[in-house]
Amino acid sequence: MKLLSAQQTSACKIAFLALLVLSQTVVARSAPDVEYAIVKKIPIPGQGSFDYLTVDESARRLYVSHGTQVEVLDIDTLSLIGNVPKTPGVHGIAIAPESGRGFVSNGKASTVTIFDLKTLKPISDVPTGSKPDAIIYDPATSRVFAFNGEGNSATAIDAATGKVAGTVDLGGGPEFAAADGEGYVFNNLEDQSQVLKINSRTLKVEERWPTSPCSSPSSMAIDRANHRLFIGCRSKVMAVMNTDTGKVITTLPIGEHVDATAFDRETGLVFNSNGEGTVTVIREDSPDAYSVIETVKTVPRAKTMALDPKTHQLFLSTIENGQFEVLVVGR
């Protein structure tokens, strides 16, 4: 056996230590570095179905759909402070801060209720297509888009005047949507396994992109800075899509029956809330690389969710032992 010189031995030791440091760095980066859990449960009186939740970050309010009204909570005190009444079959809530108005999609009435953000008092009801469900605000055009589940269309409403600006024929059943802030709105067609790219100024569908290998896309969030869509799919994966090209960059495993996805732009974490009673936490390592880092146990049927960018807490609604409640999930 050939013996190593002292110089060679020293070089080997340095190389070994460098390799050890590198391996520890890789392990540290790949290991879960967050631990989310339920930190509070907020019981809310009354019966009825539930769907979307929406955070008004500047006003520090949380809007929660609940049967025939919208419950309004103070995010900082986690207390119920009021409601928006007479919203039959409420699904979603959109906030237009510049106009001081909120918008509620009423699935049973096929209308959108406009309300005052300060007083919570209803202003008017706007007719839409059949059974509006998801609803979002597009800051580029100051328009609200209500996606009509049975009408296979989207109704665009001018936030300031409350007048209908037009209708977009979608050609399929819409689910959730996101706006890039530059004049485009993206929408899932769950029954077609497609994402639509809609020009929010001309109200025309410009692109129809397949979400394969993700199927039945249900939820959506957007990283505006990096032009990435995060699409939660009922096939138990989250797809990452380039908003410029429509290319699916990667997919990652998530839980059963996803219904909401949220992106925290400060931490780079993507959250998918699943009806099985979990939240899948995914880290954006780079615009093209992602890691599943944690599965948070919540409560069965807690499938809709909103994120508070200030506190990084999540809010989910569900019914547990006959009691409607909002779950607060944080670190």
Topology of domain 35-330, per CATH?
Methylamine Dehydrogenase; Chain H (2.130.10)
Which residue's entry shows tokens 């050609």?
171
Residue linked to tokens 């979002």: 136
> Which DSSP helix (H) or strand (E) runs through 41?
strand 37-43
Contact predicate 61/79, CB 8 Å: no
Q: How many helices (H) and strands (E) does the chain have?
A: 1, 28
Please state whether beta strands 204-210 and 217-223 pair in parallel, antiparallel, or not at all (unpaired). Answer: unpaired
**Beta-carbon contacts of residue 22 (< 8 Å; ≥ 6 apart):** none
User: What is the percent of the chain where pLDDT is above 70?
Assistant: 90
Neighbour tally for 288: CB within 10 Å? 12
Closest by CA position to 284, among listed 272, 262, 269: 269
Q: Dump pLDDT digits (tens) for 64-109.
A: 999 999 999 999 999 999 999 999 999 999 999 999 999 999 999 9
* Helix%, strand%, coil% for the chain, nearest 5: 10, 55, 40
Q: Quickly count: other Cβ atoms within 10 Å of residue 61's Cβ.
A: 20
Q: How far apart are CA 317 and CA 322, in angstroms?
A: 13
**Average pLDDT over every residue of 9-31:** 40
| Mean pLDDT across 257-275 | 97
Question: For residue 291, what are the β-bridge partners?
Answer: 283
Query: How many whole angstroms separate alpha carbon 223 and alpha carbon 32?
Result: 21
| Confidence class for position 33, pLDDT limits 50, 70, 90 | low
How large is the average pLDDT for residues 131-136? 97
Q: Position 197: which residue type?
A: K
Query: Tell me, what DSSP letter sits at residue 245?
Result: T
- pLDDT in the model for residue 16: 42
Using DSSP, state whether 98 is helix, strand or coil: coil
Average model confidence (pLDDT) across the chain: 91
Closest C-alpha to 73, from 330, 308, 323, 310: 308
CA 92 to chain centre: 12
Q: Which has the closest alpha carbon to 276: 253, 262, 289, 259? A: 259
